[in-house]
Every structure is written in structure tokens, then in C-alpha cells.
A = this chain, B = another copy of it.
Amino acid sequence: MEHCKVDVLVIGAGPSGLMLCTWLARLGIKTRLIDKRHNRINSGQADGLQSRTFEILDSMGIGQDIWREANHMLEIRFWNPDKDNRLYRSDMIVDTMPGISRFQQATLHQARIEDYLLKYIGQYSDIAVEYGKMPESLHIDAENAENDEEFPISVTIRQLTSEANGIPNGITNGSHIPNGIFRSNLTADNTDSILAAAKANVASHTETIHAKYVVGCDGAHSWTRRQIECVLEGEQTDFIWGVLDIVPITDFPDIRYRCAIHSASGSMMIIPRENKYVRLYIQVSEVTEDGQPLDRSMINQDTLLRSAQMILAPYELTYKHCHWWTAYRIGQRVGSKFSAHDRIFLAGDAVHTHSPKAGQGMNISMHDTYNLGWKLAHVIKGQSSRSLLATYTSERRQIAQELINFDHRFSQLFSGRPSKDLLDEEGIDPRTFKDVFEKGNLFASGTAVDYTTNLIVAKDPEHQADVLTYKQNYKAPFLGRPVESIPCILTGKQYLARRIPIGMRMPSYKVLNQSDARPWHLQELLSANGTWRVIVFAGDLLDPAQFARYVALGKSLDSSGSFLHKYTPKSAPIDSVFEVLTVHSAPRASIELLSLPAVFHPYNEEYGWDYSKVFVDDISYHEGHGHAYENYGVDHRTGCMVALRPDQYVSWIGELEDLPDLERFFGAFMKAQR
């Protein structure tokens, strides 16, 4: 039997596994990535992309391409039955709340997102998906779990032969069209039977991988989850919904808008997609037309179309092109734990499942591993202590809980019947529905994520999520039960930047490069390269007193004992662990870059001065004024200092004199370098 040592073994090459590998590839972590499927799946599955997901993809340099390829959803239209049960357009609202992000909710086929992630991974590493490989045993040497040098996990993986892979060929329920019914929660978990079939095949090959870390991104039927004795907690309902991806031929007037339709014959959601496609979420009746209980094996594209036609009547609907279909039972469940020994982690559908209608699944799954990947890499590279890893569970468990609370409410409203009149208390009132939808859109954008205090979120535990106007306006509507986490050793000064909430992702406004006047959205400067960032809002540098504060900060930063020098390897570029960016508020033309302290635009013997670190809040020639100081709630004169995590979340805020606090903050989990 073969043996192999790797830093990280990733099980499952869907969006969460691939997003994890983008970090591991970018930061040079030795990784293997296995998937039990024999090929890429090229139809169906997820399609919704939130604002925050685009920001994340943009931090990797692939967001703009995906944004242009995707179908943008701008407006939601509501349809309800009138008193004579005739469908009418009752309302229309904006989809993504204006102003919360550079990007709005959009749709693009999961396979295309995976294409982009795979291309990115290939650019930075030789990590490739090993298809047709499935883990069959896992052992962890718990005694060595805290030893940084060890590879305490052993996983035996088996090469599946294509005959024995047990994955249906897509011919299901009499349908010849690719569908997801075999992966759906209407169908039993077939993991064991796949493995049994593979073991019975004498030609089947095994290999043992010794890993420092294992991440189970292996979906709702996660094998990894069972190995760490995690169970999904939550409830299933009896509501069954179908999904149909078609190019619709219809006289329904709003087929290219996102629609929420409540009709006397059931509910439907319309999600317009790229390339003329439209996804229909269709409520499936529990009983057949003659009152018999529904035989689930009868669900296919024809029965789904008939249900959609009934809901949409008197409008007509048919198609010539169907790309995919599936059906699922609505339920919300969260894993009882997210990791074992902070060595084995679960992410994505492996640890939270819910209904797909709000377009959250692929997003939250990718966000899980966008959160985990840099932390794993920093620990493996010896930059940070293992204590950093515990923040994965506390942060992502909180989000998973919020997600299922949101989905629970959202699905209930959607699956209920419309109210007949004001006295009909069991029915869903259109106004309530619209209200929930509107508030839910902020949660659904992904930009409202607000991590509670922990090792790397220096937030006041007494004033979580309440003091700031920003948060009051933009708060997720369905807070989950609080997750216990160890508070940060100190508290940032939130009042210095009222609209840069600690624990949330850095909002983005345009600033200009001091050296060439080019406007950049601040987030564009925060690329996913693994560095922490300190943004120095230097204030009005024309004011001599303020300039002196900035110079003094520069001197402290550049002293040999500062965190900058302590945690950056001597042989590495000075911006490889922390990148210090300046945004000042003096007029651009009044400031000379080379008159600023060198630490803010470091000199390199090969490339000269660095012209990419100093920015200004001033008007651009062609793209207006970003008004960054005003939008961030930072004082124009005196500024402040903001520490950002490699994933763009805000860790800490302080005065220009608060470097000692920042030293303590980093000292709590970073390791001194030589």
C-alpha cells in the first residue's frame, strides 16, 4: 500500500473544497484534493451568487469575469391571487439593497464557478482534483494533535473503478435529462454501498495519506462528518419542492425577473439565469390529482412542468430545452460540531443543510472555507499558533445557525398558502411576505455577517451588534443563538470609524493612488494573498501636528521591535506578512509621496520605491469622489488605524498612537520569525 505525507487532505471538490484549495494553492501549502465523482458535473446544482461572494471572488482576481458572465438580478416581482383567485402582479422591490456592495445578487451555473476556481488553483500550484477517490478509513493520533510538527491523521483512500462507483448515470424517474435526484434528500445516502461495491472489486487500489489537517467538504452525505461523530441537528418538513432548469417559452411577463409567485395552485419562484435559462422552484403537491399520496419516483421534468403550468395559469409555459431538474424536501440542519481536535474540519453542506431557494448554499459553503483556508495556511507555515484555528468553529457555526434560522422562516412563508383575506390567520399575508423578503435580502447578500468577539476580532463583548447605526440598519434579521467564544484580549476603538464595524467585512469606497491618480475601490487593494493589513487613515497630512503623528507612527512601525519586523521573516519582503496601506485626506496634488516616511512606501533595491501603498480620499477625473473618510465615519483631520484580516474582516481599530495595542493583539497568536 502506498503512503504519502501532505499538509492538508481535502475531501470533496465542490465549491467549498475548491475555495479552500485556492488559499492552499496561493500560499504554497502541500495539499491533496480527492473527489468520489468520476467527472465534473456540468449541469444543475447551485447557481446563486451573493454580493459578498463576488467580493471574495474579486479578491482573487476572478470576480469581474464571473460578474460579467452571470445574470444580474435587480428586481423581485411578487405575484398573488386576487379575490377571484386570478394571478396578478402585487408588488415589486429591489433585490440587493443599494449601497451595501459593489456587486449585486446574480446567477451563474455552479460548474462555471468551479471552472474559474480550478483555473486559479492551477495558476498557483499543481493541486489537481483526483477524481474517483473515496476515503474509507480515518485515524487520528489525538495525543499528537497539538504538536505542530506531526502528521497525526491517517486516511486510507480507495480508487473507485468506474463500474463500481455506484453513482447513477442520470437516468432517474424515467427521465433522460441530467438531474440531481440521486443526491437529493429524497433519496437515501448511498455512501456505504458505493464503498462496499468498490471493496468487492479486486482491482480497486488503496493508498494511505498522512496529513496534518483534513477538511471534509464532502457534501450533505458527508463521510468525514461520520468519522468525527458529528450529527446534523434540526428538522425536516413535509414540504417537497422541485427544480427545473429550462429555456422557457411563455407569455408570463416577468420571466426574466426574480419572481415570488403564490397562486391558488401552489407557490413558485422564478430565478432567471445566464444564456436564456431560467430556474423554476416549484412547490410539488403532496397528493396527486385524484387524492392519492404522491409517489416520489414519479417526480420528473414532466410532472414538474405540469405543476408549474398549473401555478402559472392562465399564462402559458413550455420549453424545448431542459438542462437539469431535481426535487428536495425542505429542512434545516446544522452539525453538532465543526471540527475534531482542530485537526479535522467540516465545511459547506457537510455541516449545514437547508433549502436552496434563497440561493445561499454555494455561497455560505465557499465562505466557510474562505474563512478556514488562510488560517490553516498560517498555522502550517508557522506564522500563527494553532489557537487561531478555534475561530473557524466559533465564526462559522454562528453563521450556519443564522442561515438555518433565515431559511426556516423564508421557507415557511414560501410553502404556506396565500391568505384569503385579512381574517385568514393561517394563510400568508402578501405584505408580511414582502417584508420578510426585503429584510432577508440583506442577510442573503452575505455582507451582514458580523462575527462576535474572539482571538482575532477585538470587539467589546458587552456591546455586540448594538451600538452602531450602521449595524442597526444593516443587521441580519434572524440572529442565531450566540456561540460561545473566548473574547479578544483587548477592544478596538469602534468610535474612531463608526462605519467600519469590527467583526464585519471592510466596506468599500473609492480612493486614488497618490502616485498616479488611479481610482481603486478599497476592497480591490485587499487581494487574497494571505497578508494581514493595517490601513492607516493618516488624516490631513497638511496639518503639521497630524503629519508629526504620522511620522511618529512610521518611526515606531519601522523600529526593529515592531510587529512588522518581529513577525516577518528577515529574508522575506517587508509586506509579505503585513501590508501597511495609507489613505490620507489632504488634496492629492499637495502631497509628495517621497516626503512621507519610507516605511509607508518601502524601498527595494531591485524595484525602487513602492508606489502601490499610499492612497488619498480625493476626487477622480472620471469616476467621481469616493468620500471614503465620510463613508467610513473617520475624522478627516485625525484619522485612525484599522487592522484587517486576510479575509477582509475588521479585527481592530485604534488611534495612530495605539501601536502598543496592536502589538498585543498580534502577539496573542503570531509567532516571532527569524
Q: Pick from A72, A95, A256 the residue with the most CB of B within 10 Å.
A: A256
Would B257 and A594 count as touching, CB distance under 8 A? no
Shortest Cβ distance from A234 into chain B, in angstroms? Answer: 35
> In the complex, which residues of chain B have a beta carbon less than 8 angstroms from the beta carbon of A72?
516, 518
CB-CB contacts below 8 Å: A583-601 with B: 589, 592-594
A104 beta carbon closer than 8 Å to chain B: yes
Would A68 and B74 count as touching, CB distance under 8 A? no
CB-CB contacts below 8 Å: A88-116 with B: 92, 94-96, 98, 104
Would A253 and B593 count as touching, CB distance under 8 A? yes
Would A250 and B608 count as touching, CB distance under 8 A? yes
A416 to B426, CA, bound (A): 86
A249 to B608, CA, bound (A): 4
Please tell me how many copies of the chain the complex holds.
2
Chain B minimum-CB-distance residue to A276: B607
A83 beta carbon closer than 8 Å to chain B: no
Would B621 and A516 count as touching, CB distance under 8 A? no
A247 beta carbon closer than 8 Å to chain B: yes
Would B611 and A256 count as touching, CB distance under 8 A? yes
Shortest Cβ distance from A176 into chain B, in angstroms? Answer: 19
A320 beta carbon closer than 8 Å to chain B: yes
A657 to B73, CA, bound (A): 36
> In the complex, which residues of chain B have a beta carbon less than 8 angstroms from the beta carbon of A518?
72, 74
* CB contact between A253 and one of B65, B247, B251, B592 (< 8 Å): that residue: B592
A192 beta carbon closer than 8 Å to chain B: no
A622 beta carbon closer than 8 Å to chain B: yes
A75 beta carbon closer than 8 Å to chain B: yes
> In the complex, which residues of chain B have a beta carbon less than 8 angstroms from the beta carbon of A513?
256
* CB contact between A257 and one of B257, B517, B608 (< 8 Å): that residue: B517
A149 beta carbon closer than 8 Å to chain B: no
Chain B minimum-CB-distance residue to A603: B249
A272 beta carbon closer than 8 Å to chain B: yes
Bits for A260-303, please: 1 = Cβ < 8 Å to B, else 0: 00000000000010001000000000000000000000000000
Would B594 and A253 count as touching, CB distance under 8 A? yes
A405 beta carbon closer than 8 Å to chain B: no
Q: Pick from A247, A515, A516 the residue with the most CB of B within 10 Å.
A: A516
A163 beta carbon closer than 8 Å to chain B: no
Provided the pairs A74-B621, A249-B607, A606-B321 are in contact, do residues A272 and B516 lie with their beta carbons within 8 angstroms?
A: yes
Shortest Cβ distance from A224 into chain B, in angstroms? Answer: 38
* CB contact between A621 and one of B98, B250, B592 (< 8 Å): that residue: B98
A489 to B609, CA, bound (A): 61
A141 beta carbon closer than 8 Å to chain B: no
Provided the pairs A251-B594, A256-B516, A592-B253 are in contact, do residues A68 and B64 lie with their beta carbons within 8 angstroms?
A: yes
A440 beta carbon closer than 8 Å to chain B: no
A408 to B117, CA, bound (A): 50
A251 to B605, CA, bound (A): 13
Shortest Cβ distance from A271 into chain B, in angstroms? Answer: 12
> In the complex, which residues of chain B have a beta carbon less than 8 angstroms from the beta carbon of A276?
607, 611
Shortest Cβ distance from A592 into chain B, in angstroms? Answer: 5
* CB contact between A75 and one of B68, B592, B621 (< 8 Å): that residue: B621
Would B98 and A622 count as touching, CB distance under 8 A? yes
A242 beta carbon closer than 8 Å to chain B: no
Shortest Cβ distance from A257 into chain B, in angstroms? Answer: 6
A513 to B516, CA, bound (A): 36
> In the complex, which residues of chain B have a beta carbon less than 8 angstroms from the beta carbon of A249?
605, 607-608
Shortest Cβ distance from A122 into chain B, in angstroms? Answer: 17
> In the complex, which residues of chain B have a beta carbon less than 8 angstroms from the beta carbon of A75?
516-517, 621
> In the complex, which residues of chain B have a beta carbon less than 8 angstroms from the beta carbon of A621?
74-75, 94-96, 98, 104
A248 beta carbon closer than 8 Å to chain B: yes
Chain B minimum-CB-distance residue to A99: B622
> In the complex, which residues of chain B have a beta carbon less than 8 angstroms from the beta carbon of A592?
253
Shortest Cβ distance from A487 into chain B, in angstroms? Answer: 37
Would A516 and B608 count as touching, CB distance under 8 A? no
A323 to B142, CA, bound (A): 55
* CB contact between A605 and one of B92, B95, B320, B620 (< 8 Å): that residue: B320
Chain B minimum-CB-distance residue to A610: B276
Shortest Cβ distance from A259 into chain B, in angstroms? Answer: 11
> In the complex, which residues of chain B have a beta carbon less than 8 angstroms from the beta carbon of A64?
64, 68
> In the complex, which residues of chain B have a beta carbon less than 8 angstroms from the beta carbon of A250?
608-609
Chain B minimum-CB-distance residue to A606: B320
A303 to B609, CA, bound (A): 24
> In the complex, which residues of chain B have a beta carbon less than 8 angstroms from the beta carbon of A65?
65
A515 to B276, CA, bound (A): 12
> In the complex, which residues of chain B have a beta carbon less than 8 angstroms from the beta carbon of A606?
247, 320-321
> In the complex, which residues of chain B have a beta carbon less than 8 angstroms from the beta carbon of A607?
247, 249, 276, 320-321
Q: Pick from A104, A249, A250 the residue with the most CB of B within 10 Å.
A: A249
> In the complex, which residues of chain B have a beta carbon less than 8 angstroms from the beta carbon of A320?
605-607
> In the complex, which residues of chain B have a beta carbon less than 8 angstroms from the beta carbon of A593?
253
A320 to B594, CA, bound (A): 20
> In the complex, which residues of chain B have a beta carbon less than 8 angstroms from the beta carbon of A68?
64
Shortest Cβ distance from A120 into chain B, in angstroms? Answer: 15
Bits for A52-96, please: 1 = Cβ < 8 Å to B, else 0: 000000000000110010011111000000000000000010111
CB-CB contacts below 8 Å: A602-636 with B: 605-609, 611, 620-622
> In the complex, which residues of chain B have a beta carbon less than 8 angstroms from the beta carbon of A104?
621-622
> In the complex, which residues of chain B have a beta carbon less than 8 angstroms from the beta carbon of A608?
247-250
A607 to B65, CA, bound (A): 26
> In the complex, which residues of chain B have a beta carbon less than 8 angstroms from the beta carbon of A516?
71-75, 256-257, 272
A611 to B65, CA, bound (A): 23
Bits for A421-451, please: 1 = Cβ < 8 Å to B, else 0: 0000000000000000000000000000000
User: What are 14 of the A-B contact pairs (CB < 8 Å)?
Assistant: A65-B65, A74-B516, A74-B620, A75-B621, A98-B621, A104-B621, A247-B607, A253-B593, A256-B513, A256-B515, A256-B516, A257-B516, A257-B517, A276-B611
Chain A residues engaging chain B, CB cutoff 8 angstroms? 64-65, 68, 71-75, 92, 94-96, 98, 104, 247-251, 253, 255-257, 272, 276, 320-321, 513, 515-518, 589, 592-594, 605-609, 611, 620-622
Given contacts A74-B621, A321-B607, 11 further A-B contacts (CB under 8 A): A64-B68, A72-B518, A74-B516, A74-B517, A75-B517, A95-B621, A249-B605, A249-B607, A250-B609, A257-B517, A321-B606
